[in-house]
């Protein structure tokens, strides 16, 4: 019974889970993310010409590394803080950021407890994981050579 209730509460939300034990800090996820969010869809051009930032962040400390991206929180503090209305939550609970509505106030950057929304200082807007909207599978997961990222239903 208890189990059932818990299941009922689970959101129908698929997102990316990093497995730190498998991460080898190759940063392929960062590159893949930057590329699919670029105009040119070319990793070199995207990095060199388009002034883009990756949405996952590969953190490294000694032997431990982990790729951190937006958790699409049950309580998204970024949404509380957003002064322009750029951040919104869809019916499944995924958290979206409309870059053209964003005014670059960095309030979301100030409150995201995962450091998962990034300020693009030159472009004056923030950016975060959009779960590769419009693509059938997140690019970072696809790119990871070591299965350190999995696309799974929220727990």
Q: How far is the CB of 8 from other proteins (least distance, A)?
A: 15
Nearest to ligand SF4 of 27, 72 (CB atom): 72
103 makes contact with ligand SF4 (CB under 6 A): yes
Cβ 78 to ligand SF4 shortest distance, Å: 3
Question: Strand 95-97 to strand 118-120: parallel, antiparallel, or no bridges (unpaired)?
Answer: unpaired
Q: Which stretch, 7-15, 71-79, 133-141, 144-152, contacts ligand SF4 (CB under 6 A)? A: 71-79
Question: Three-state DSSP class for 51?
Answer: coil
How far apart are alpha carbons 44 and 49 in whole angstroms?
Answer: 8
Residue of 50, 68, 98, 151 interacting with other proteins (CB under 8 A): 68
Q: Shortest Cβ distance from residue 75 to other proteins (Å)? A: 4
Q: Which residues of 24-60 are buried (b: 16+ CB within 10 A; e: fewer)?
A: eebbbbbbbbbbbbbeeeeeeebbeeeebbbbbbbee
Q: Which does 151 bind (CB under 5 to 8 A by kind): other proteins, ligand SF4, none?
A: none
Distance separating alpha carbons of residues 89 and 75, to the nearest angstrom: 10
Q: Which spans of this chain sit near ligand SF4 (rule: CB under 6 A)?
A: 70-73, 76-78, 81-84, 86-87, 95, 97, 102-108, 112, 114, 116-117, 125-126, 128
């Amino acid at each position: 019974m208890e189990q059932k209730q818990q299941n009922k509460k689970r959101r129908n939300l698929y997102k990316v889970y990093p497995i730190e034990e498998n991460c080898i800090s190759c940063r392929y996820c960062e590159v893949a993310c930057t590329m699919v969010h670029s105009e040119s869809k070319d990793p070199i051009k995207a990095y060199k010409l388009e002034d883009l930032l990756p949405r996952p962040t590969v953190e490294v400390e000694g032997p431990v590394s982990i790729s951190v991206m937006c958790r699409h929180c049950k309580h998204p503090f970024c949404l509380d803080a957003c002064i322009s209305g750029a951040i919104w939550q869809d019916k499944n609970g995924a958290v979206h950021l409309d870059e053209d509505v964003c005014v670059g106030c960095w309030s979301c950057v100030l409150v995201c407890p995962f450091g998962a929304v990034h300020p693009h200082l030159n472009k004056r807007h923030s950016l975060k994981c959009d779960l590769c909207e419009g693509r059938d599978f997140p690019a970072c997961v696809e790119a990871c050579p070591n299965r350190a990222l999995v696309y799974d239903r929220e727990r």
